[in-house]
Amino acid sequence: MANYFAIFLVVMTAVTGLIWLIDAIFFAPERKAMALEERRAVLGDDTITKLEGEEADPHLPMLVDNAKQFFPIFALVMVFRSFLYEPFQIPSGSMMPTLLVGDFILVEKFSYGIKDPVFRTKLIETGEPSRGDVVVFKFPEDPSVDYIKRVVGLPGDRVVYKDKKLFITPACDQRPCPQTAIAQEEVGKTDFIGRMNGRLVEYKETLGENTTGILKDPNERDAISRYEPKQPGTAYNEWLVPEDHYFVMGDNRDNSEDGRFWGFVPEQNLVGNAVLIWVSFEFERQPEDFMPTWVPSGIRFERSGSIQ
């Protein structure tokens, strides 16, 4: 849906701009000349050489007038959304506690390269994801769907997730490369409920320069990867990140369909870096409530701010 909207913006910008341009070159000068002659005839004054404002083009067609009005709007929205920032809504709890259902976020589109809005070809290099970044990307198995997860593995990393703990072996020149156990510190039980109706436990985890909260369900076993084909030299729940790819996971570790299940995110699928929660709505309505469930029941003002 997001890609269709991008195509719509490009098409409407091109169409309205083309209508305005063609009229300005081929038709507007003749209309303005006729309007000038009409004004001279009405006033009986041949010294008038120029008309201003609406008088300059009183016979402006409605189609051209609308094109002139809407072209700047379409162009501005297209540039802002395609190259600067794009809004997204969080639809699921896979990134709790960092992001909740009802959070509306801004994604910085130029963080990982400036791309054309239709074919997503990179035009200018601007940077690469860092470990711990929260990224929006096109789902590799269905590029029409946008996903949001946290970058865990960079190109060349060997990632292991065992007993609900994360181990990373970064690419290095020496052999064997040293493995790093990602630091975790238990914070305590939360109000969030898992699939087994037990309370989830929050931990603080440090990935690169980012320290963030993650959730674990003590009643759930480790998920087993279904990524096929298995890479040579890797075991279950072990992944060797290919060149120009990234390994991502959700912060709600036992309730996230992420790279453990379907593999890696190609670099060209990256949309941008999630940087800000600009508003957060609650949708806690009961079936007997008068208002429909899609109408917010409240605003979580305290959640507005940067995303860690």
State pLDDT tens for residues 186-210.
999 999 888 878 899 999 999 988 8
Q: Kindly state the percentage of the chain with pLDDT values over 90.
A: 54
**Average pLDDT of 81-89?**
89
Q: How far apart are CA 63 and CA 27, in angstroms?
A: 13
pLDDT of residue 69: 92
pLDDT of residue 234: 74
pLDDT at residue 55 tops 90? no
pLDDT of residue 175: 76
pLDDT at residue 235 tops 60? yes
Q: What CA–CA distances, in Å, run from 272 to 147, 196, 208, 260?
A: 11, 34, 18, 21
Token code pair at residue 236: 């279950």
- Rg of the chain over Cα atoms, rounded to whole angstroms, equals 27
pLDDT at residue 8 tops 90? no
222 compared with 14, residue with greater pLDDT = 14
61 compared with 51, residue with greater pLDDT = 61
pLDDT of residue 140: 93
pLDDT of residue 43: 73
pLDDT of residue 4: 73
pLDDT of residue 173: 77
**Average pLDDT of 74-92?**
90
pLDDT of residue 150: 97
Q: Kindly state the percentage of the chain with pLDDT values over 70.
A: 89
Q: How far apart are CA 214 and CA 218, in angstroms?
A: 13
b (16+ CB within 10 A) / e for 227-242: beeeeeeeeebbbbbe
Look at residues 237, 167, 166, 164 and name the one whose alpha carbon lies nearest to residue 201: 164
State pLDDT tens for residues 119-166.
788 888 989 999 999 999 999 999 989 999 999 999 999 999 988 999
**Residue position matching structure tokens 């970044």:** 133
What are residue 189's phi and psi, to 5 degrees?
-70, 150
Active site residue 149: yes
Among 94, 111, 225, 280, the one annotated catalytic: 94
pLDDT band at 308 (very low <50, low <70, confident <90, very high): confident
Look at residues 30, 94, 83 and name the one whose alpha carbon lies nearest to residue 57: 30
Mean pLDDT of the chain: 87
Among 109, 115, 138, 149, the one annotated catalytic: 149
Q: Where are the beta strands (DSSP E) in the chain?
A: 85-89, 103-108, 114-115, 122-124, 134-138, 146-153, 158-162, 165-169, 180-181, 184-193, 199-207, 210-216, 238-240, 245-249, 265-266, 270-282, 298-299, 305-306
**Average pLDDT of 164-171?**
91
pLDDT of residue 33: 84
Q: Which of 87-96, 130-139, 231-240 has the lowest mean pLDDT?
A: 231-240
pLDDT at residue 40 tops 60? yes
pLDDT at residue 239 tops 80? yes
**Average pLDDT of 256-268?**
93
Walk me through the domains of the chain, giving residue ranges and CATH numbers: 2-83 (no CATH), 90-306 (2.10.109.10)
